[in-house]
Amino acid sequence: MKSEYSLETPAQELESLHFDNRFLRELPADPDCSNRVRQVPKACYSRVKPTPMAKPRLVAFSEEVADLLGLSEQACETELFAEVFAGNRLLPGMDPYAMCYGGHQFGHWAGQLGDGRAINLGEVLNARGEHWMLQLKGCGLTPYSRQGDGLAVLRSSVREFLCSEAMHHLGIPTTRALSLVLTGEEVTRDMFYDGHPKQEPGAIVCRVSPSFTRFGSFQIFTYRDELEQLRKLVDFTIRHDFPQLPAPGVATYLQWFEEICRRTADLMVHWMRVGFVHGVMNTDNMSISGLTIDYGPYGWLEDYDLTWTPNTTDAQGRRYCFGQQPQVALWNLAQLANAIYPLIGQAEPLEEALKLYGASYQRGWQEMMAQKLGLRQFEAASDEALCKELDALLQSAETDMTIFYRNLTEVGAGQPEPQQLDDEALLAPLQEAYYQPEQLTEEHRRRTADWLRSYLQRVAGDGREEEDRRSQMQAVNPKYVLRNYLAQLAIDKAESGDYSLVTELLEVLRQPYAEQPEQQEFAAKRPEWARHRAGCSMLSCSS
């Protein structure tokens, strides 16, 4: 944060933000400045101003993101801040625009998509020389809005604001969220597309990222055979988002794609580690920088069900369910490979890069599982079977993933010969993780106890101090995640005008791996009332 002795007033801090809008300066613009829905050829973006909102009011902001931009807490609490991040005021240097891109949605080419309700305000160049793009989601129509109104509602905005920051503190690559602002507008939404629309409070999230470029940003140009624009965007992305790579050229394009494959594999490992389900892994929702982007109908895996999806649109096909995410990422990368093929002209090196994704994911998954289980390293001879049996056990009874792994650190703790404990004593620390006690048959309990003995024997073979193992496990197995029902409770309160739970959850989720004994209630498994409630079990893309 800026010093409390700064000579600038809070408003002056905002007005002195330095904008260096490279994306606009170096890439082709839409020559048509009319804000009407249309096809936009041969352009990376269209300039468009946010729609003024009736009565902006700040609900919450992230101190850490404000600090990235060089803003103090006092600056974020000004009326000017709420006006700017509702889109009502532009700061000096802001030059708003919406990005053009296409994409595959649920496996089918959807043509031009673009920022239909997101408007980029500009790129802040901070004191550390970092570029941070500011993007408002829900601030009005753009040329890419199609049949939408360009707005967003409070429930989805609360979810995006909280999850963006929760993911960051979990150590997962993600776009960030600076602020959550009420607009004072009422927005009509049919939450489940079932003919029951209602009025909901409007809201805007300011998203912050080094880049919002997507796989679909490149696909649209190849689909339209606009190869000059494709090359310009690829070269720009390499220069600014991958500066460690050599000057653009065929060899560099391949290195770039390999790096995207590695980053995407790393992201999938992280999602699987904590039980995050994106819900809409279309190619337009895949970041070129390996970040989690576009928090729509996401969800946190509570019951360990590999087939679970939070998205009502995906309920039948389950294309984007938890267990499919690594494979879908590979499919999406193949579509990106097709998009950049015209710049390379060779299929084989692109195919080799896709194999690199598989190898990177497998290696990352093994390292991740060793960390989750408190092992020095993954030893395939013993650990593949150990993990396979654990996966089967977690699916055979309704088991809370987060609680199971967190409490696994306590199994056999303080016992000189933990493998000698009887079944009941071994299983005791895990009882909290089960949703349906009647599912814990004698066979299941015996099988779980046998697995625990094998696991403890494997741990003993590592020769580590117990405290070292526990510390390692607690550093990667979070105690606190943004459980679906917690987000919904925060939404319920917010819609009644009480924003305290949004702020409280933001604070708890800043330390997801810490015990925080005073916040134990936020580590509890899903209550029964939330099993089938909208917003707690399934969500739609309606926001």
What pLDDT sits at residue 253? 98
What pLDDT sits at residue 542? 61
- Is residue 536 in a domain? no
Instruction: Tell me the backbone φ, ψ of residue 449, rounded to 5 degrees.
Output: -65, -40
Q: Measured between alpha carbons, how far is residue 411 from residues 74, 366, 376, 378, 386 in Å?
A: 47, 22, 18, 20, 16
Is the model's pLDDT at 194 over the cut of 90?
no
Rounded mean pLDDT, 285-313: 96
147 and 252 share one domain: no
What pLDDT sits at residue 480? 98
Is the model's pLDDT at 486 over the cut of 60?
yes
114 Ramachandran zone, left/alpha/beta (phi>0; psi -120 to 50): left
Number of domains into which the chain is organized = 4
- Is residue 447 in a domain? yes
Angle between helix axes 227-241 and 215-223 (nearest 10 degrees) is: 160
Residues sharing a CB contact under 8 Å with residue 167, sequence separation 6 or more, in sequence order: 174, 276, 292
What pLDDT sits at residue 543? 52
Q: Measured between alpha carbons, how far is residue 267 from residues 357, 363, 477 in Å?
A: 11, 13, 16
CA-CA distance, 73 to 61, in Å (whole number)? 9
* Catalytic residue ranges: 284
What is the tally of helices (H) and strands (E) in the chain? 18, 11
80 and 128 share one domain: yes
Name the DSSP class of 540: -
- Is residue 540 in a domain? no
325 and 250 share one domain: yes
Give the residue with greater pLDDT, 3 vs 534.
534
232 and 206 share one domain: no
Rounded mean pLDDT, 185-208: 89
- Is residue 471 in a domain? no
What pLDDT sits at residue 540? 72
What pLDDT sits at residue 418? 79
At 192, is the pLDDT very low, low, confident or very high (cuts 50, 70, 90)?
A: low
- Read off the pLDDT of residues 205-223 as tens digits, 9 standing for 90 and up: 999 999 999 999 999 999 9
Length of the chain measured in residues: 543
- Read off the pLDDT of residues 50-91 as tens digits, 9 standing for 90 and up: 999 999 999 999 999 999 999 999 999 999 999 999 999 999
222 and 211 share one domain: no
What pLDDT sits at residue 537? 81
- Is residue 538 in a domain? no
At 193, is the pLDDT very low, low, confident or very high (cuts 50, 70, 90)?
A: low
187 and 126 share one domain: yes
Rounded mean pLDDT, 89-115: 98
Query: What is the average pLDDT value for the chain, to the nearest integer?
Result: 95
Quick one: what percent of the chain has pLDDT higher than 70? 98
331 and 382 share one domain: no
At 1, is the pLDDT very low, low, confident or very high (cuts 50, 70, 90)?
A: very low
196 and 50 share one domain: yes
- Read off the pLDDT of residues 117-156 as tens digits, 9 standing for 90 and up: 999 999 999 999 999 999 999 999 999 999 999 999 999 9
Q: Which residues pair with 299 in a beta bridge?
A: 277
At 4, is the pLDDT very low, low, confident or very high (cuts 50, 70, 90)?
A: very low
268 and 404 share one domain: no
- Read off the pLDDT of residues 447-470 as tens digits, 9 standing for 90 and up: 999 999 999 999 999 988 999 999
The model carries a pTM of 0.96
429 and 493 share one domain: no
At 535, is the pLDDT very low, low, confident or very high (cuts 50, 70, 90)?
A: confident
Is the model's pLDDT at 6 over the cut of 70?
no
Residue type, 523: A
81 and 173 share one domain: yes
At 254, is the pLDDT very low, low, confident or very high (cuts 50, 70, 90)?
A: very high
Q: How far apart are the first and last CA of the chain?
A: 33
Range of the domain at 507: 484-530
- Is residue 283 in a domain? yes
339 and 401 share one domain: no
